[in-house]
């Protein structure tokens, strides 16, 4: 019965067959198709666990609470939510570290690390094309701080870098960037679906008439908001959750967590510098 009790929301290609895995465009028979923009399509108090990774930051801040309340609704009393998002605090600390180093003891490596952490902080918020300046940075012939970058963004950076080193210097690199972010493409898929339906119903609208930048920025790749341990904890509390705590990728109050390999696979952390937070739906009187 475990499959009925554990929910992975916006799973992309990162899922486990013993969970209920939901995404907009499934690429496996183990994933259920659902338009999560309309809410989580399950009855109240259906699950013991709700998990989502690299999803919340792609939801506009003003809609984040509604999404978390949906997670609360489908959880049973005493159920656990686990949320994984990029860690703003970690990025800011790295920014301050390399800012000071570049000012006080400038060298090529500190400058490269400073440039990279600035991209982590802003690029996925301000970019107007897929991959942004992060992909451009990783396509340089020589990346002096390659180890630092790979240590920070794991398989995403490794995928893009390996594509370049293997001679894929054009659209394939961009494609790999999109593929690496497949688990967070919920809203990109939804917006593309909406545009497609509009064009089918209103024949005189041509794709060229839609702003490419506007369509891209509504497409789900960019970050709509960033969270740290304070703001994410406050959001969860405001939506009715209790017992909020920061975890490591390896630890969880979810039974048999390591067996599912959703945050760590073969010892490799999927999102090594992210923020991992869990909370509990304590009692039905907290229902929001």
pLDDT at 227: 98
pLDDT at position 286 is 53
**Pairing status of strand 75-86 against strand 274-280:** antiparallel
Question: Which of 27-41, 85-99, 274-288 has the least mean pLDDT?
Answer: 274-288
Average pLDDT over residues 15-27: 88
Q: Note the pLDDT of residue 154.
A: 76
Say which residues have a Cβ less than 8 Å from residue 199's Cβ, sequence separation at least 6. Answer: 205, 207
Highest mean pLDDT among 138-142, 250-254, 264-268: 250-254
Here the tokens at position 178 are 């999109």
Residue-level pLDDT at 168: 64
- Could you give the percent of the chain with pLDDT greater than 90? 57
Is pLDDT of 198 > 60? no
Reported as a pLDDT band with limits 50, 70 and 90, residue 34 is confident
Rounded Cα distance between 172 and 168, Å, is 6
Q: Is the pLDDT of residue 99 over 50?
A: yes
User: For position 250, what pLDDT does the model report?
Assistant: 95
The more confident residue out of 154 and 255 is 255
Q: Is residue 105 over pLDDT 90? A: yes
| Strand 264-265 to 6-9 pairing | unpaired
Band (276; pLDDT cuts 50, 70, 90): very high
Indicate if the pLDDT at residue 275 is higher than 90: yes
Among the ranges given (155-159, 172-176, 195-199, 266-270), the one the predictor scored with the smallest mean pLDDT: 172-176
pTM comes to 0.83
Of 161-170, 191-200, 250-259, which gets the smallest average pLDDT?
A: 191-200
Strands 264-265 and 47-53: unpaired
Please provide the average confidence, as pLDDT, over all residues in the chain. Answer: 83
Domains located in the chain, CATH noted: 2-87+227-286 (3.40.50.150), 88-182 (no CATH), 186-217 (no CATH)
pLDDT, residue 240, reads: 97
pLDDT bracket for residue 179 (50, 70, 90): very low
In tens, the pLDDT along 36-63 reads 878 999 999 999 999 999 999 999 999 9
């Amino acid at each position: 019965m475990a499959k009925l009790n554990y929910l992975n929301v916006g799973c992309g290609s990162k899922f486990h067959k013993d969970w209920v895995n939901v995404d907009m465009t499934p690429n496996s028979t183990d994933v259920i198709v659902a338009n999560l923009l309309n809410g989580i399509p399950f009855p109240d108090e259906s699950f013991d666990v709700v998990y989502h990774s690299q999803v919340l930051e792609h939801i506009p801040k003003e809609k984040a609470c509604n999404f978390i309340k949906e997670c609360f609704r489908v959880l049973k009393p005493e159920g656990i939510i686990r949320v994984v998002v990029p860690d703003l605090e970690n990025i800011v600390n790295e920014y301050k570290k390399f800012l000071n180093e570049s000012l006080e003891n400038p060298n090529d490596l500190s400058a490269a690390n400073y440039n990279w952490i600035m991209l982590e902080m802003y690029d996925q918020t301000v970019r107007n094309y897929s991959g942004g300046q992060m992909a451009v940075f990783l396509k340089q012939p020589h990346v002096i701080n390659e180890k630092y970058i790979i240590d920070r963004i794991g398989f995403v950076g490794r995928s893009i870098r390996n594509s370049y080193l293997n001679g894929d210097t054009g659209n394939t690199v961009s494609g790999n960037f999109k593929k690496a972010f497949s688990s967070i493409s919920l809203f990109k898929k939804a917006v593309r679906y909406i545009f497609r339906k509009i064009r089918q119903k209103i024949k005189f609208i041509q794709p060229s008439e839609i702003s490419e930048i506007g369509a891209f920025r509504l497409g789900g790749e960019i970050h709509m908001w960033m969270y740290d341990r304070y703001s994410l904890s406050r959001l969860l509390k405001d939506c009715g959750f209790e017992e909020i705590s920061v975890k490591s990728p390896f630890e969880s109050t979810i039974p048999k967590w390591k067996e599912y390999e959703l945050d760590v696979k073969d010892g490799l952390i999927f999102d090594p510098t992210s923020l991992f937070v869990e909370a509990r739906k304590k009692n039905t009187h907290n229902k929001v």
